[in-house]
């Protein structure tokens, strides 16, 4: 295990602390409230309650550690440094989260000294930020040696080499930086988005703009990212592109924490990744990538208000403003502010209307709000921007098809679904939606069965698609065959009211009346729509055959062969 992974394990342990053995009864209330808030990732409340607890028990180091974690997650790193200073001053106390925060504080105020960092357990962090510190002090040789030392450690090769390439580019040695980034010097690197941009900028400085364009096209084909689009435009025009991924040693140190946050995102606890991205912001408030990463992590943690605040910090003139506004719209919708989300996307449609994703996002948001006519118009605008239809465009036709189907524009909806399938044959979502629509309309049932069987083969563990298979068999009068897929659908989606209701109908059709009534009661317990609830109650009162007759349909021909 590397020292970095050891540090992560220790910090994660702090985040999962149980009630400290030192806690007294008179503080247990505020402590438990703090723990509950921390578990829910409610960092503001957690900080408030941990602070109250610490006032009552000022020597409790476990409370200090928990307070530090939540302060950093909230973005209050300076406050965390204050607590960490108290904690590290205590005798016989080792706290890696406090040490991490103290390192950030020293980097911020310029008191960090890599020569003095001999007992730190931060490993990778110290190695990389130490290299940047040497560079800040003009010791280029020591800086490169520090990066090389990190690169020789097990599992840390790419970290060391990448930061060495950034440092070389910062001091103007673009040839050596390019050799590392290309893989020619020490083997290939797994390039992140930041790494690709850095490499493209280095190539531009070497007057290799065409190679940089080729790199972008190969790595981000068809990207609508405004920042990448602007970079590609400048390179294609032959304009020199400055190297600005890092503009100083301090920004390089911030990149260390951003890089670690990116590596942890999706691989570890999101709060752990957030700690590193917040430190990156703290060291370099202009690091837009770190701000966007923090915002995305806060969304994942359900902290939509904090995420919105983070997105708001991206300047309007920054190329990343588009991405920030897209994220802000999603966070606003998730925080039950759909009108605000729609307003953000509507304004983006005015300022960035040449980007198809804006109109698709607006359409998706309107469709989720069941504003289908408006959604269809947004999808119309997106589709009008397509010069040449590609397989990747199936989704926008599928989405427009749903909107058109919901506003009873069936001819256009069917055309959209079929065109989506032409672009992406056997796409299970499209096959299922179109096939199920045919089932509900009681038309093209044999074709619907074929579509849904194909969809099931593509996604055998999708409860909705499996339900569709059972339902089309039911509609075809093949009741006994419908039982197995419908039972399977309920296994996959046990609390879905519609699927349980469907299974009840299938059971009734094969003469298993008691089981049918049981499934209908289960369906009622899962909060179906009011209209469906009324129908289920009626089926329990008089049976499915009588309900069908009341609705003007033929009663089921009972098949008691199973």
Task: Give helix then strand counts, H and E, for the chain.
Answer: 31, 0
Look at 13-22, 311-320, 439-448 and tell me which has the smallest mean pLDDT: 13-22
Environment class of 349 (CB within 10 Å of its CB; exposed 0-12, middle 13-18, buried 19+): middle
pLDDT digits (tens, 9 = 90+) for 199-219: 999 999 999 999 999 999 999
- The yes-or-no answer to whether 1-111 and 455-562 have a common fold is yes
Cα distances (Å, whole numbers) of residue 385 to 292, 322, 348, 378: 27, 18, 16, 11
Helical segments of 392-427, H only: 394-406, 410-423
**pLDDT on residue 9:** 53
Fold of 1-111: 1.25.40
**pLDDT on residue 559:** 45
**pLDDT on residue 154:** 85
pLDDT greater at residue 442 or residue 211: 211
Is residue 225 very low, low, confident or very high in pLDDT (cuts 50, 70, 90)? confident
**pLDDT on residue 259:** 93
pLDDT digits (tens, 9 = 90+) for 497-549: 999 999 999 999 999 999 999 999 999 999 999 999 999 999 999 999 999 99
Spatial distance between the Cα atoms of 415 and 397, rounded to a whole number of angstroms: 9
**pLDDT on residue 22:** 47
List CB contacts of 547: < 8 A, sequence separation 6 or more.
535, 538, 539
Environment class of 168 (CB within 10 Å of its CB; exposed 0-12, middle 13-18, buried 19+): buried
- For residue 4, pLDDT over 80 is answered with no
Is residue 14 very low, low, confident or very high in pLDDT (cuts 50, 70, 90)? low
Spatial distance between the Cα atoms of 399 and 402, rounded to a whole number of angstroms: 5
Cα within 13 Å of Cα(247), Cβ side = 6
**pLDDT on residue 11:** 57
- For residue 462, pLDDT over 80 is answered with yes
Strands of 383-514, DSSP E: none
Which backbone phi and psi does 426 adopt, to 5 degrees? 65, 20
Q: Tokens at residue 436, please?
A: 């199920």
pLDDT, the chain, mean? 91
Percent of the chain whose predicted confidence (pLDDT) is above 70:
93
Look at domain 455-562 and name its CATH class.
Answer: mainly alpha
**Average pLDDT for 43-58:** 93
**Average pLDDT for 123-147:** 92
pLDDT greater at residue 81 or residue 222: 81
Spatial distance between the Cα atoms of 144 and 448, rounded to a whole number of angstroms: 65
What are the boundaries of each domain within the chain?
1-111, 455-562
- For residue 404, pLDDT over 50 is answered with yes
- For residue 315, pLDDT over 70 is answered with yes
Spatial distance between the Cα atoms of 558 and 539, rounded to a whole number of angstroms: 16
Residues found in the chain: 562
Q: Which of 151, 238, 229 is nearest to 203 (CA)?
A: 238
Is residue 90 very low, low, confident or very high in pLDDT (cuts 50, 70, 90)? confident
Spatial distance between the Cα atoms of 231 and 217, rounded to a whole number of angstroms: 11
């Amino acid at each position: 295990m590397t020292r970095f992974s050891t540090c992560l394990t220790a910090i994660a342990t702090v985040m999962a602390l149980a009630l400290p053995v030192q806690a007294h009864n008179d503080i247990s209330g505020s402590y438990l409230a703090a723990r509950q808030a921390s578990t829910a990732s409610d960092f503001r409340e957690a900080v408030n309650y941990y602070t109250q607890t610490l006032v009552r028990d000022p020597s409790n180091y476990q409370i200090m550690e928990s307070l530090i974690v939540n302060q950093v997650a909230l973005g209050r790193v300076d406050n965390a440094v204050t607590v960490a200073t108290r904690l590290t001053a205590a005798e016989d106390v080792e706290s890696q989260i406090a040490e991490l925060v103290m390192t950030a504080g020293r980097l911020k105020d310029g008191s960090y000294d890599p020569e003095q960092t001999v007992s730190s357990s931060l490993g990778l962090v110290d190695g990389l930020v130490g290299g940047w510190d040497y560079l800040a002090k003009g010791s280029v040789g020591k800086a490169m040696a520090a990066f090389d030392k990190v690169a020789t450690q097990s599992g840390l090769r790419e970290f060391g080499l990448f930061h060495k390439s950034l440092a070389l580019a910062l001091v103007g040695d673009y040839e050596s930086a390019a050799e590392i980034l290309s893989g020619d010097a020490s083997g290939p690197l797994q390039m992140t988005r930041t790494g690709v941009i850095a490499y493209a900028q280095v190539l531009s400085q070497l007057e290799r703009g065409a190679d940089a364009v080729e790199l972008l096209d190969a790595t981000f084909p068809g990207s609508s990212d405004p920042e990448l689009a602007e970079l590609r435009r400048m390179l294609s025009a032959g304009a020199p592109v400055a190297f600005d991924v890092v503009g100083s040693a301090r920004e390089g140190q911030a990149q260390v924490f951003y890089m670690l946050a990116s590596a942890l995102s999706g691989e570890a606890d999101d709060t752990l990744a957030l700690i590193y991205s917040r430190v990156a912001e703290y060291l370099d408030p202009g690091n837009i990538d770190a701000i966007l990463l923090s915002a995305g992590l806060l969304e994942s943690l359900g902290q939509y208000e904090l995420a919105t605040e983070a997105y708001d910090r991206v300047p309007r003139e920054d190329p990343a403003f588009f991405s920030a506004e897209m994220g802000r719209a999603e966070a606003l919708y998730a925080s039950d502010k759909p009108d605000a989300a729609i307003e953000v996307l509507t304004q983006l449609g005015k300022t960035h209307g040449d980007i198809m994703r804006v109109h698709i996002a607006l359409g998706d948001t309107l469709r989720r709000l069941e504003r289908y006519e408006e959604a269809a118009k947004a999808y119309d605008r997106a589709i009008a921007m397509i010069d040449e239809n590609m397989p990747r465009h199936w989704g926008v036709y599928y989405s427009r098809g749903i909107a058109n189907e919901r506003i009873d524009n069936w001819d256009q909806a069917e055309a959209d679904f079929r065109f989506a399938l032409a672009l992406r044959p056997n796409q299970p979502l499209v096959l299922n939606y179109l096939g199920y629509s045919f089932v509900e309309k009681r038309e093209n049932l044999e074709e619907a069965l074929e579509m849904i069987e194909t969809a099931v083969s593509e996604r055998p563990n999708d409860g909705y698609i499996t339900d569709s298979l059972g339902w089309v068999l039911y509609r075809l009068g093949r009741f006994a065959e419908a039982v197995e897929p419908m039972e399977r659908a309920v296994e996959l989606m046990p609390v879905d009211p519609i699927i349980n209701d469907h299974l009840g109908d299938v059971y009734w059709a094969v003469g298993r009346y008691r089981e049918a009534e049981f499934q209908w009661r289960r369906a009622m317990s899962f909060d179906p729509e009011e209209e469906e609830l009324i129908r289920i109650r009626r089926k329990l009162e008089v049976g499915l055959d009588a309900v069908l007759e009341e609705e003007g349909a033929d009663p089921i021909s009972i098949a008691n062969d199973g």
